[in-house]
DNA sequence: GAGTTTGAAACT
DNA sequence: CAGTTTCAAACTC
């Protein structure tokens, strides 16, 4: 088997215990109580809930998948992202080699439940009372048994001590210790992201119907000489936790029973979730099947960077900004790889210190009427008219909005310049978000109008036009601005506007 | 492919 | 927070 084949992953069709869905209930949690009262049978694929232990005021519930009789629905799908490497600063899972079922699976595969997991999500979030939208829970388990650890650590979950058993039989790899992280986004329609530290061998086949992933790093770049391939993966995970803890991105906790678990702080969990947005997901090509295994090939679509001075450790680097390690790039002196984990982690931390939302997608979630969402910060273009790819809004195929601070913007609905631009642009028909209607002439509108006029004056000057021609251009621009303002006002009041 | 332009990110 | 510098992508020739 060559190295390329080593990159391919095989997936076992069957596991006896399935993926983990840690749920927790405290007596203070009416949401969980409500969930229980309505029965967890509504959770697809999970039909049996057991009360496993009772300690202090807390009760741990365990949901065991019954894959044989309650398969997960066909809509279920996973996606994965490489961003979690930021969270856990581990070497890549892409080193996993077929035929070594006990080799560690040191990095994280982010498995995103696109299934109707609202119930699961609500259950998970019910452990916390801090009102956050995104929760990140991490621990180790074979039997899905997490329990609340500390009242002061609402996110902290601990695995039951009995889950530390390791298998005697190599064929029974699902009995292995299964480190799992659950990220739950309440605002995302009840999405649950599970980060399996273990190999995809342990993913139920029924969950593999629509598997997506991000780019596959080159094994040579991903290799980590210090990586531990011990059968249990415990040493690796512990090491990774330490590395991670050193970056401040992950807290490592230990139970009285000696069981360790990791906890990613909420903000990073949020970014992790957002890193799973479809824009960063590429196709996974299924190559074929062998007995009980799926063999897949990961396809890379990430655009290579050409950084020369940033060491690919600043947001100038697209790979870094997207949460990817550089792979097949043309960059020089690159540190955005697992060989420079320390530098990379420090750089990530520095970016997050500067801007906690640094790794969040710039294109926010869709809003009313918008097909593709809007730029969260808005652009600041001055000379491109927002009709070139310099403009982040234009590049993302979205209209500029009132959030933008651009000057001389043409990237709005029905802009004459934009119309001609659209003709040269493929797939433009798929986006028709509307510019936020300006229902009155606010100072912002005045400022924007003046900006347009100034831009037009600059353009006239640049073209060496006569003052009369420049004047005419500016007046025409003013007319366009007025037309736009009036049209927006009429549109917002649903009154027909005839030019 | 080299040089220029552009605007985001980083820095002061 | 504003102004300046750095940077890499987009663009032009």
Model pLDDT, residue A333: 92
Domain closes at, from A278, A298, A318? A298
Are the beta carbons of A146 and A157 closer than 8 angstroms? yes
- Both tokens of A51, joined, read 């009360």
Q: What angle do CA A208, A233, A344 make, to 5 degrees?
A: 85
Cβ A391 to strand B below 7 Å = yes
**SS3 label, residue A252:** strand
Residues 6+ apart with CB under 8 A from A422: A428
Model pLDDT, residue A468: 85
**What's the alpha-carbon Rg for chain A, to the nearest Å?**
26
Cβ A462 to strand B below 7 Å = no
Phi/psi for A416 (5° steps) reads -55, -40
Whole-angstrom CA distances from A124 to A140, A292, A394, A485 are 16, 32, 38, 47
Residues A270 and A182 in one domain: yes
A373 CA vs B4 C1’ separation (Å): 32
Which of A367 and A128 is assigned the larger pLDDT? Answer: A367
Residues A343 and A326 in one domain: yes
Model pLDDT, residue A483: 76
A398 CA vs B3 C1’ separation (Å): 30
Model pLDDT, residue A335: 93
Instruction: Give residue A311's pLDDT band: very low, low, confident or very high (50, 70, 90).
Output: very high
Euclidean distance between the first and the last CA atom of chain A, given in angstroms as a whole number:
70
Helix spans in A335-399 (H): 341-354, 392-395
291-350 of chain A touching strand C, CB 7 A cut-off: 305-310, 312, 314, 316-318
Whether residue A214 lies inside any domain: the answer is yes
Which helix (H) or strand (E) element contains residue A458?
A: helix A443-462
Residues A290 and A315 in one domain: no
**SS3 label, residue A195:** strand
Q: Nearest nucleotide by C1' from A305 CA?
A: C8
A72 CA vs B6 C1’ separation (Å): 50
Residues A281 and A366 in one domain: no
Convert A96-127 to b/e letters by CB count within 10 Å (16 or more is b). bbbeebbbbbbbbbbbbbbbbbebbbbbbbbb
Partner residues linked to A22 by β-bridges: A62
Model pLDDT, residue A307: 94
Q: How many C-beta neighbours within 10 Å does residue A283 have?
A: 11
Whether residue A116 lies inside any domain: the answer is yes
Strand pairing category for A146-150 and A260-263: unpaired
Nearest Cα residue to A436 out of A444, A427, A426: A444
**SS3 label, residue A87:** helix
Residues A323 and A277 in one domain: no
CA A484 to chain centre: 37
Model pLDDT, residue A488: 64
A353 CA vs B10 C1’ separation (Å): 13
Whether residue A64 lies inside any domain: the answer is yes
List the beta strands (DSSP E) in A15-133: 22-26, 46-55, 58-65, 109-113
Whether residue A234 lies inside any domain: the answer is yes
CA A394 to chain centre: 22
Q: Nearest nucleotide by C1' from A303 CA?
A: C9
**Positions of chain B reached by protein Cβ under 7 A:** 5-11
- Separation CA A321–CA A318 (nearest Å): 5
Most confident range, picked from A125-134, A360-369, A373-382: A373-382
- Longest Cα pair distance anywhere in chain A, in angstroms? 89
Q: What mean pLDDT is predicted for residues A388-393?
A: 92
Cβ A316 to strand B below 7 Å = yes
Residues A380 and A342 in one domain: no
Cβ A390 to strand C below 7 Å = yes
- Both tokens of A247, joined, read 């970056």
Whether residue A452 lies inside any domain: the answer is yes
Cβ A159 to strand B below 7 Å = no
Helix A467-492 to helix A443-462 angle (10° resolution) is: 150
Residues A143 and A99 in one domain: yes
Q: Nearest nucleotide by C1' from A393 CA?
A: B7
- Separation CA A458–CA A453 (nearest Å): 9
Instruction: Give residue A190's pLDDT band: very low, low, confident or very high (50, 70, 90).
Output: very low
- Separation CA A212–CA A449 (nearest Å): 45
Give the domain range for residue A395.
362-431
- Separation CA A424–CA A475 (nearest Å): 28
Residues A273 and A407 in one domain: no
Residues A221 and A262 in one domain: yes
Residues A221 and A77 in one domain: yes
Model pLDDT, residue A148: 31
Q: Is pLDDT above 90 for A390?
A: yes
CA A174 to chain centre: 27
Helix spans in A114-159 (H): 118-125
Most confident range, picked from A271-280, A338-347, A408-417, A464-473: A338-347
Are the beta carbons of A226 and A140 closer than 8 angstroms? no
- Both tokens of A235, joined, read 């040493």
Model pLDDT, residue A324: 84
Whether residue A303 lies inside any domain: the answer is no
Lowest mean pLDDT among A133-137, A280-284, A432-436: A280-284
Which residue in this structure is represented by tokens 């959030």?
A403
A290 CA vs B8 C1’ separation (Å): 48
Residues 6+ apart with CB under 8 A from A75: A114, A115, A116, A209
Cβ A388 to strand C below 7 Å = yes
Cβ A348 to strand B below 7 Å = no
Which of A444 and A461 is assigned the larger pLDDT? Answer: A461
Model pLDDT, residue A310: 94
Cβ A397 to strand C below 7 Å = no
Number of domains in chain A: 4
Domain closes at, from A298, A326, A350? A298
A332 CA vs B3 C1’ separation (Å): 20
Q: Nearest nucleotide by C1' from A384 CA?
A: B6
A385 CA vs C10 C1’ separation (Å): 14
A88 CA vs C9 C1’ separation (Å): 30
Model pLDDT, residue A467: 83
Domain closes at, from A379, A402, A431? A431
Mean model confidence pLDDT for chain A: 49
Model pLDDT, residue A398: 87
Residues A29 and A130 in one domain: yes
Which of A335 and A194 is assigned the larger pLDDT? Answer: A335
A354 CA vs C1 C1’ separation (Å): 15
Q: Is pLDDT above 70 for A81?
A: no
Nearest Cα residue to A401 out of A355, A442, A370: A370
- Both tokens of A286, joined, read 């299924």
Model pLDDT, residue A423: 56
Model pLDDT, residue A401: 85
Instruction: Give residue A250's pLDDT band: very low, low, confident or very high (50, 70, 90).
Output: very low
Model pLDDT, residue A228: 34
- In this complex, the residue with its CA at the shortest distance from the C1' of nucleotide B8 is A316
Model pLDDT, residue A435: 46
Cβ A360 to strand B below 7 Å = no
Q: Is pLDDT above 70 for A375?
A: yes
Residues A355 and A375 in one domain: no
- Separation CA A252–CA A271 (nearest Å): 19
Model pLDDT, residue A388: 92
- Separation CA A437–CA A435 (nearest Å): 6
Model pLDDT, residue A306: 93
């Amino acid at each position: 088997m060559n190295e390329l084949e080593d990159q391919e992953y095989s997936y076992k069709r069957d596991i006896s215990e399935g993926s983990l869905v840690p749920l927790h209930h405290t007596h203070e949690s009416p949401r969980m109580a409500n969930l229980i009262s309505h029965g967890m049978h509504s959770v697809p694929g999970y039909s049996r809930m057991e009360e496993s232990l009772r300690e202090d005021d807390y009760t741990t519930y365990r949901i065991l998948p019954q894959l044989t009789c309650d398969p997960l629905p066909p809509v279920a799908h996973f996606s994965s992202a490489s961003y979690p490497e930021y969270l856990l600063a581990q070497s890549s899972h892409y080193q996993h080699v077929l035929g070594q079922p006990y080799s560690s699976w040191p990095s994280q595969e982010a498995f995103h439940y696109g299934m109707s997991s609202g119930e699961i999500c609500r259950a998970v979030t019910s452990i916390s009372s801090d009102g956050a939208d995104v929760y990140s829970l991490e621990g180790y388990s074979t039997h899905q048994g997490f329990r609340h650890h500390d009242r002061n650590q609402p996110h902290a979950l601990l695995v039951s001590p009995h889950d530390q058993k390791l298998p005697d039989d190599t064929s029974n790899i699902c009995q292995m210790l299964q480190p799992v992280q659950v990220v739950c986004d309440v605002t995302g329609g009840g999405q649950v992201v599970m980060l399996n530290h273990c190999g995809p061998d342990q993913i139920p086949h029924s969950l593999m119907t629509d598997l997506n992933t991000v780019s596959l790093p080159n094994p040579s770049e991903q290799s980590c000489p210090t990586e531990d391939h011990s059968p249990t993966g415990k040493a690796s995970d512990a090491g990774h936790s330490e590395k991670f803890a050193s970056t401040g991105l992950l807290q490592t906790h230990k139970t009285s029973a000696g069981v360790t678990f990791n906890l990613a702080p909420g903000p990073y969990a949020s970014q992790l979730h957002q890193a799973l947005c479809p824009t960063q997901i590429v196709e996974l090509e299924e190559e074929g099947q062998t007995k009980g295994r799926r063999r897949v090939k990961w396809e890379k679509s990430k655009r290579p960077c050409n950084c020369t001075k940033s060491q690919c450790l600043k947001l100038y680097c697209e790979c870094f900004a997207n949460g990817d390690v550089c792979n097949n790039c043309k960059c020089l002196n690159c540190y955005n790889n697992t060989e420079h984990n320390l530098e990379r982690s420090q750089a990530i931390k520095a970016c997050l210190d500067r801007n906690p939302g640094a790794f969040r997608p710039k294109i926010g979630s869709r809003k009313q009427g918008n097909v593709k969402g809007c730029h969260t910060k808005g652009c600041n273009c001055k000379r491109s008219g927002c009709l070139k790819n310099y403009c982040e809004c234009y590049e993302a195929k979205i209209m500029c909005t009132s959030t933008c601070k651009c000057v001389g913007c043409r990237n709005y609905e029905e802009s004459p310049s934009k119309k001609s631009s659209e003709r040269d642009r493929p797939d433009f028909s798929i986006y028709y978000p509307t510019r936020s209607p300006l229902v009155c002439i606010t100072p912002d509108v005045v400022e924007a109008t003046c900006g347009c006029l100034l831009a037009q004056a600059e353009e006239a000057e640049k073209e060496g036009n006569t003052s009369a021609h420049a004047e005419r251009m500016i007046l025409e621009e003013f007319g366009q601005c007025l037309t736009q303002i009036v049209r927006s006002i009429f549109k917002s009041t649903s009154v027909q506007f005839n030019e």
